[in-house]
């Protein structure tokens, strides 16, 4: 049973390594956690094996039973030959009780260590996944494409950078991107950029909510570049522009609209920790913030 569990965990980790779709949609910590659990389980199993009484005799006798049969020295009696017959005598206390240690099989232990070493080697040898695994050319063409999309929404020149160093992203209020209000420069996290690269250049739709989030973030920063500084209003416009943006990046119209409707639906939950990001009540079909009042669908 334990062995089967170990094999299952190893298969999961290997699958994550070799199936790009899994790598794209499951964050790295899940297989890492599965593997850590495997190692801990393995160590605990080894420790318990050491602590547990050995042999196949089952339950150890209770102290009362031991007393009744003549005390602890009778636990390991020794057969002694006398001139006429054989007698059982208690084991010599000085020699200590004879403990039969069955030879522990080394193989399962070695197997675990080998698997561990193999996976560590794989981690080192396999190229890093995500934004930093892309070569310079792919990074530049992704930034160029995202800049062009941002410019389209902003109505003027835009320069999107996928800040690998995290200098600019993360220090300002929202964690996934930052933009100069009314300016030309915006930064996105490498995770957002990589998701958009996969969509735009590899036709990989990825996980629904991750892709939806990435599109919404790009559209959000683009609206800041356009000059909007209210976070709630920016979100409202971003969810609407996100439909066309998603389509241009390769989604079907239906999927792009569903993604932005999901972002709008989850907005109150996301805005709980940062109320400024809550879309205003006028962000609705036919409301003041509806960019296409004539259309019946929203966003």
Instruction: Please provide the DSSP assignment of the chain as one string.
Output: -HHHHHHHHHHHHHHHHH-HHHHHHS-THHHHHHHHHHHHHHHHHHHHHHHS--SS--SPPPHHHHHHTT-GGGSS-EEEE-SS-EEEEPPPGGG------PPPPSHHHHHHHHHHHHHHHHHHHSPPPSGGGS-HHHHHHHHHHHHHHHHHHHTS--EEEE-SS-SSTTTSSSTTEEE-TTSSEEEE-HHHHHHHHHHHHH-----HHHHHHHHHHHHHHHHHHHT---HHHHHHHHHHHHHHHHHHTT--HHHHHHHHHHHHHHHHHHTTS-GGGSPPTT-STTSTT-S-TT-SS--
- Smallest gap from Cβ 180 to Zn ion, in A, equals 11
| Contacts (CB under 5 A) with Zn ion, residues 181-210 | none
| Residue (119 or 216) nearer to Zn ion, CB | 216
| Contacts (CB under 5 A) with Zn ion, residues 212-271 | 231
* Closest residue by beta carbon to Zn ion: 231
| Residue (13 or 186) nearer to Zn ion, CB | 186
| Residue (21 or 181) nearer to Zn ion, CB | 181
- Residues in contact with Zn ion, counted by CB under 5 A, come to a total of 1
| Residue (115 or 238) nearer to Zn ion, CB | 238
- Smallest gap from Cβ 160 to Zn ion, in A, equals 14
- Smallest gap from Cβ 231 to Zn ion, in A, equals 5
- Smallest gap from Cβ 234 to Zn ion, in A, equals 5
- Smallest gap from Cβ 280 to Zn ion, in A, equals 15
| Residue (163 or 231) nearer to Zn ion, CB | 231
Q: Which spans of this chain sit near Zn ion (rule: CB under 5 A)?
A: 231
């Amino acid at each position: 049973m334990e062995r089967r569990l170990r094999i299952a965990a190893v298969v999961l980790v290997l699958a994550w390594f070799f199936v790009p779709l899994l790598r794209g949609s499951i964050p790295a910590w899940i297989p890492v956690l599965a593997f850590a659990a495997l190692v801990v389980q393995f160590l605990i199993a080894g420790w318990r094996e050491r602590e547990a009484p050995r042999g196949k005799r089952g339950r150890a006798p209770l102290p009362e039973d031991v007393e009744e049969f003549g005390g602890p020295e009778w636990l390991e009696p020794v057969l002694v030959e006398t001139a006429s017959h054989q007698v059982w005598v208690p084991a010599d206390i000085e020699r200590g009780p004879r403990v039969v240690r069955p030879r522990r099989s080394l193989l399962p232990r070695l197997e675990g260590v080998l698997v561990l070493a193999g996976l560590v080697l794989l981690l080192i040898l396999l190229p890093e996944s995500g934004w930093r695994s892309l070569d310079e050319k792919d990074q530049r063409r992704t930034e160029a494409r995202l800049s062009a999309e941002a410019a389209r929404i902003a109505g003027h020149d835009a320069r999107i950078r996928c800040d690998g160093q995290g200098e600019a992203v993360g220090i300002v209020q929202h964690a996934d991107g930052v933009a100069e209000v009314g300016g030309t420069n915006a930064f996105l996290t490498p995770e957002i950029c990589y998701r958009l690269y996969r969509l735009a250049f590899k036709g990989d739709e990825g996980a629904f909510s991750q892709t939806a989030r990435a599109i919404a973030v790009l559209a959000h920063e683009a609206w800041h570049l356009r000059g909007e500084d209210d976070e709630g209003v920016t979100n409202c416009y971003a969810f609407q522009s996100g439909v066309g943006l998603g389509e241009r990046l390769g989604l079907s119209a239906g999927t792009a609209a569903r993604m932005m409707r999901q972002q709008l639906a989850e907005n109150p939950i996301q805005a709980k920790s940062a109320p400024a990001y809550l879309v205003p009540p006028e962000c609705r079909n036919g409301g003041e913030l509806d960019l296409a009042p004539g259309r019946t669908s929203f966003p």
